[in-house]
Amino acid sequence: MFYPSPKRMRALITFGLLLLFSINTNAQKIVKSSAEVPFLIGCDQRMPEFPGGNAAFSKYLQTTLIFPKGQKKQGKLIVDFVIEKNGMVTDVTLTRKLSPLYDAEVLRVVKASPKWRPGTLNKKPINVRYSLPIDFSTN
């Protein structure tokens, strides 16, 4: 069976993250009643941004993730998290799991993320929930 080199594996994961991150980012205003507010037409909205943008976030994930030794697991996991009004990453959970080792590593890396530039709605900071799929494959 063919396994790509670690360098090629990282390149494939980075490409997958960039593709999936740009497609599957969801924003909503989090209110105390837990009501979801979808994209609002006619409002001045700005999504949270990782310091340096999406490319920097992908690089952060690529350089910070430590893959479990001897593991050749393939599949997708989905991590949800909230970017708070102050830019902190909170409420990190997995909505789709892959394996305990991979799950724990992704949770560790996302929780350790530096402060983001917070999202805004009508120029006021808001909490924004992200859903980020991460695809682990050897293709």
**Residue 21's pLDDT is what?**
53
Span 115-136, mean pLDDT? 90
Residue the block writes with tokens 């507010």: 37
**Residue 1's pLDDT is what?**
44
In which band, very low, low, confident or very high, does the pLDDT at 101 lie, cut at 50, 70 and 90?
A: confident
**19 compared with 33, residue with greater pLDDT:** 19
**Residue 127's pLDDT is what?**
94
Span 117-133, mean pLDDT? 91
Instruction: Enumerate domains of the chain plus CATH numbers.
Output: 6-136 (3.30.1150)
